[in-house]
């Protein structure tokens, strides 16, 4: 079943492949203009890529005068696997060379059940997608994990939410079981790259992607590349201090951002409010469902429940305070808010914007858009697909 | 007086020059090993550089077996100007190609007296250094300014401490008056690069340089390069919120780091303590000098005055809280503490370390040294010299 996928032979071929991934079909003339190569040289490289099965002709280009050019595009049978392992679910998608999602499955799966069980689920889902699509081979796969990852080693490093995963060689295990090269990264990093590929951060070189889910994390993209830090823990902002005292955090300290605001904190505060009969709306939802989630708070807030609205505002204020500091520190071009709790939508966004615009350096916010994720639950698999393509679209050596 | 300095002709020549700047004299064989070029090719490029007057022979190398190699070094008459404009002083140094300080002058000069007066001082000091050294020509100069700088435009952008400087084309003005190419950057950025060149961060690829002076700023070096942000304001951490309330800040808000701890805040708190007779030591210094500075607090703390010790501790705690957040966020390999207030020394350092090691993510601090600046007051001019050399040591186009 396994064949060794073709690879570009040099830097120019790798550049051509990346351009076709990001821009879709292009004429040889356009490729030459962007890369700074002569028509003859581009034609030569494209012919080699086509011979390798990596690109193909896509019909005549619109004439720019002179000899009619032919469009070239990535081979239409090129496939990557994007895998997003969350705290409580696994998403696997089959994407084409231009990172369009061809099929996507999501399955509940507790990351605390350990690497073996979770990888079995991943391999089964990937096998099913490939079988359904009649695609035995993929060029490469990439995986996001909900914890710090040593990118170099392809393994999680002391991940707090993932008992039993420390230093397990996920990259090598999956590579063997999927029969293709694999990269492993932190889930927030791949979501950030997904938003950059086809979402709210399309084409942005320097931006922050803030994921507010069960916990809070940040994907840092600088110069178009993910900044991972020396230990792979960059962006782990959930335990930044916002007060000296406050609710106890899972990390054992007090005053952490996550202890004030996150999916878990929101559910906790809503449950307290419901039990104390401060909100009949939340109390009704609690008695109906037996438990409250961040989504319930969003529904209650949308329905005008004042306690829920206040919880969202207060949370937005807290996360906004931390984002304001990060904006002053790294002066990004854009901030994208994503993750499950981003489903709270514009009430949350308005509060975050208010705090950041008020508290950051004016020069840093003058032209700073703060927007919601566009890809939502698919950001992770798209970003993982992008990361997988980067394994293949590189020059040798 | 002006001659156009020679420049490298290609990427390999630029690499050779940068290596000789950072490593000193090297043999052709060593250069070839590091750059990945054949001996013949290296010899060719070195010959061209020597013909251009950029390099010269430096005697025989220690034999590695085989034919004896000759050491090559940067031309000994190569000179750069490093200029560090602070809030209240101007430093100008003449450095050689390896960024050794040959002569250095410092003069009191209030940046609020406006660009014309300050640039006149700079040009006069630079002229004096060049005349004293018998060096009419320098290859390039670089300038640090105490405010946000648009690196691309070579001009300050809404700098809060520098009335009258907004958008003044400092790079172009100085280039004309000094008769050489000039780069302009934020002063904390050049200090960070100075520490990286010959100080506490020698060779570090990813580190933070925290300057605690009249205000507080941060130089961010990632992948060996200064991260400046989209508006040039990256690292402006003085107004990050540490509390909702607190002393009023110059920016008009409350709760900013700088309002709690900086040279200015320390002088303010020490003066209050002296006037309230809470510290006889500080009261004596105040009546002797008419005013108190951060240095006085350091002296009093070193002499065991409990109020001064408490001020240093409390300040260290505040700045430590902010650094802890930045460490969690960007996971650097090293933190260097510099600036005038760093003169408070190990009492301050101990407090900062305590807070950062306690509050940051354990994975991010596992191998994180937090150290004091080694270059002190010369970090700026060395870093500026380095930046100046980067103007020259680049391939054309």
Asked if B222 and B193 touch (Cβ cutoff 8 Å), the reply is no
Which residue from A172, A101, A96 is spatially nearest to A139, judged by alpha carbons? A96
Please enumerate in sequence order all residues whose Cβ is within 8 A of that of B4, keeping only pairs 6 or more positions apart, or say none: none
Establish if B367 touches chain A: CB-CB under 8 angstroms.
Answer: yes
Establish if B229 touches chain A: CB-CB under 8 angstroms.
Answer: yes
pLDDT at B68: 67
Neighbouring C-beta atoms of residue B278, cutoff 10 Å: 14
pLDDT at B41: 94
Asked if A208 and A189 touch (Cβ cutoff 8 Å), the reply is no
Asked if B166 and B157 touch (Cβ cutoff 8 Å), the reply is yes
Smallest CA–CA distance, residue B106 to chain A, in Å, is 30
pLDDT at A68: 67
What is residue B263's three-state secondary structure?
A: helix
For residue A110, CA distances in Å to A107, A116, A265, B93 come to 10, 12, 19, 61
CB-based burial of residue B142 (10 Å sphere; 0-12 exposed, 13-18 middle, 19+ buried)? buried
User: Which residues on adjacent β-strands are paired with residue A71?
Assistant: A27
Label residue A1 by pLDDT band (50, 70, 90): very low
Which residue from B104, B107, B37, B44 is spatially nearest to B72, judged by alpha carbons? B44
* Residues A236, B331: C-beta atoms closer than 8 Å: yes
Residues in chain A: 397
B165-190 pLDDT per residue, tens: 999 999 999 999 999 999 999 999 99
B306-354 pLDDT per residue, tens: 999 999 999 999 999 999 999 999 999 999 999 877 677 788 999 999 9
Which of B233, B240, B329 lies closest to A237 in CB terms? B329
Please enumerate in sequence order all residues whose Cβ is within 8 A of that of A161, keeping only pairs 6 or more positions apart, or say none: A87, A111, A112, A146, A147, A214, A215
Chain B hits for A329, Cβ within 8 Å: 218, 220, 234-237, 240, 326, 329-330
pLDDT at B1: 36
- The torsion defined by the Cα of B331, B332, B335 and B336, in degrees rounded to 10, comes to -150
B86-98 pLDDT per residue, tens: 988 999 999 999 9
A318-337 pLDDT per residue, tens: 999 999 999 999 999 999 99
* Residues A329, B228: C-beta atoms closer than 8 Å: no
Evaluate whether ipTM surpasses 0.95.
Answer: no
The pLDDT of residue B2 is above 50: no
pLDDT at A26: 95
Distance CA B272, CA A266 (A): 43
* Residues B234, A367: C-beta atoms closer than 8 Å: no
Establish if B326 touches chain A: CB-CB under 8 angstroms.
Answer: yes
Asked if A255 and A248 touch (Cβ cutoff 8 Å), the reply is no
DSSP letter (8 states) at residue A29:
H
pLDDT at B66: 64
Smallest CA–CA distance, residue A208 to chain B, in Å, is 11
- The torsion defined by the Cα of B347, B348, B351 and B356, in degrees rounded to 10, comes to -140
Neighbouring C-beta atoms of residue A235, cutoff 10 Å: 29
Asked if A30 and A64 touch (Cβ cutoff 8 Å), the reply is no
Distance CA A283, CA A346 (A): 24
Distance CA A101, CA A121 (A): 20
**Mean confidence (pLDDT) of chain B:** 92
Chain A hits for B333, Cβ within 8 Å: 230
A137-187 pLDDT per residue, tens: 899 999 999 999 998 999 999 888 899 999 999 999 999 999 999 999 999
Residue B73 CA to its chain's centroid (Å): 25
Per DSSP, helices labelled H in chain A are 11-23, 28-35, 39-51, 115-133, 170-178, 187-198, 257-260, 263-275, 280-289, 294-302, 306-330, 346-359, 362-365, 379-392
Asked if B321 and A239 touch (Cβ cutoff 8 Å), the reply is no
B243-275 pLDDT per residue, tens: 988 888 888 889 999 999 988 899 999 999 999
The pLDDT of residue A109 is above 90: yes
Asked if A81 and A98 touch (Cβ cutoff 8 Å), the reply is no
Mutate to test the interface with A, among B329, B332, B356, B365 (most CBs of A within 10 A): B329
Which phi and psi angles does B294 have, rounded to 5°?
-60, -35
Distance CA A25, CA A76 (A): 11
Chain B hits for A364, Cβ within 8 Å: 229, 231, 233, 236
Mutate to test the interface with A, among B152, B233, B253, B324 (most CBs of A within 10 A): B233
A339 vs A322: which has the higher pLDDT:
A322
Establish if B161 touches chain A: CB-CB under 8 angstroms.
Answer: no
pLDDT at B245: 87
Asked if B238 and B341 touch (Cβ cutoff 8 Å), the reply is no
* Residues A325, B240: C-beta atoms closer than 8 Å: yes
Q: For strand A334-338 and strand A207-212, is the pairing parallel, antiparallel, or unpaired?
A: parallel
A236-265 pLDDT per residue, tens: 999 999 998 888 888 888 999 999 998 889
Distance CA B352, CA B330 (A): 17
The pLDDT of residue A344 is above 50: yes
Establish if A235 touches chain B: CB-CB under 8 angstroms.
Answer: yes
Distance CA A282, CA B377 (A): 60
CB-based burial of residue B167 (10 Å sphere; 0-12 exposed, 13-18 middle, 19+ buried)? exposed
Distance CA A253, CA A342 (A): 25
Asked if B203 and B223 touch (Cβ cutoff 8 Å), the reply is no
Label residue A2 by pLDDT band (50, 70, 90): very low
Which residue from A114, A139, A129 is spatially nearest to A8, judged by alpha carbons? A139
In chain B, % of residues over pLDDT 70: 97
Please enumerate in sequence order all residues whose Cβ is within 8 A of that of B112, keeping only pairs 6 or more positions apart, or say none: B161, B162, B163
Task: Indicate left, alpha or beta for A255 from its phi (over 0: left) and psi (-120 to 50: alpha).
Answer: left
Which residue from A230, A391, A144 is spatially nearest to B335, judged by alpha carbons? A230
Chain A hits for B354, Cβ within 8 Å: none
Residue B52 CA to its chain's centroid (Å): 30
Mutate to test the interface with B, among A157, A220, A328 (most CBs of B within 10 A): A328
Chain A hits for B322, Cβ within 8 Å: 325
């Amino acid at each position: 079943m396994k064949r060794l996928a073709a690879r570009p032979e040099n830097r120019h071929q790798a550049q051509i492949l990346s351009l076709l991934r990001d821009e879709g079909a292009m004429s040889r003339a356009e490729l030459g203009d962007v890369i700074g190569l002569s028509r003859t040289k581009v034609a030569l490289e494209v012919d080699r890529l086509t011979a390798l099965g990596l690109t193909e002709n896509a019909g005549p280009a619109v004439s720019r005068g002179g000899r009619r050019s032919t469009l070239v595009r990535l081979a239409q049978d090129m496939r990557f696997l994007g895998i997003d392992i969350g705290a409580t679910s696994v998403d696997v998608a089959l994407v084409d060379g231009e990172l369009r999602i061809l099929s996507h499955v999501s399955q509940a799966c507790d990351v605390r059940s350990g690497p073996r069980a979770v990888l079995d689920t991943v391999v089964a889902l990937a096998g099913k997608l490939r079988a359904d699509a009649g695609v035995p081979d993929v060029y490469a796969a990439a995986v996001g994990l909900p914890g710090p990852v040593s990118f170099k080693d392809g393994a999680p490093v002391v991940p707090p939410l993932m008992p039993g995963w420390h230093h397990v060689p996920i990259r090598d295990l999956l590579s063997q079981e999927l029969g293709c090269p694999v990269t492993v990264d932190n889930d927030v990093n791949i979501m950030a790259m997904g938003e950059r590929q086809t979402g709210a951060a399309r084409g942005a070189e320097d931006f922050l992607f803030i994921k507010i889910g069960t916990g809070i994390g940040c994907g840092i993209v600088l110069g178009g590349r993910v900044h991972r830090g020396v230990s792979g823990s960059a962006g782990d902002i959930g335990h930044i201090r916002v007060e000296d005292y406050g609710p106890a955090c899972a990390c054992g300290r007090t005053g952490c951002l996550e202890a004030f605001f996150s999916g878990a904190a929101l559910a906790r505060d809503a449950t307290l409010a419901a039990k104390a009969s401060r909100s009949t709306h939340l109390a009704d939802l609690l008695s109906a469902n037996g438990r409250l989630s961040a989504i319930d708070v969003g529904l209650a807030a949308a329905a005008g429940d004042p306690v829920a609205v206040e919880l969202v505002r207060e949370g937005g204020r807290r996360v906004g305070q931390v984002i304001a500091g990060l904006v002053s520190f790294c002066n990004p071009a854009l901030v994208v808010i994503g993750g499950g709790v981003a489903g709270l939508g514009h009430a949350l966004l308005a509060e975050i914007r208010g705090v950041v615009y008020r508290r950051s350096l004016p020069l840093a916010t003058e032209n700073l858009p703060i927007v919601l994720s566009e890809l939502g639950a698919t950001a992770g698999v798209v970003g993982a697909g992008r990361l997988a393509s980067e394994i293949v679209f590189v020059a040798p050596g």
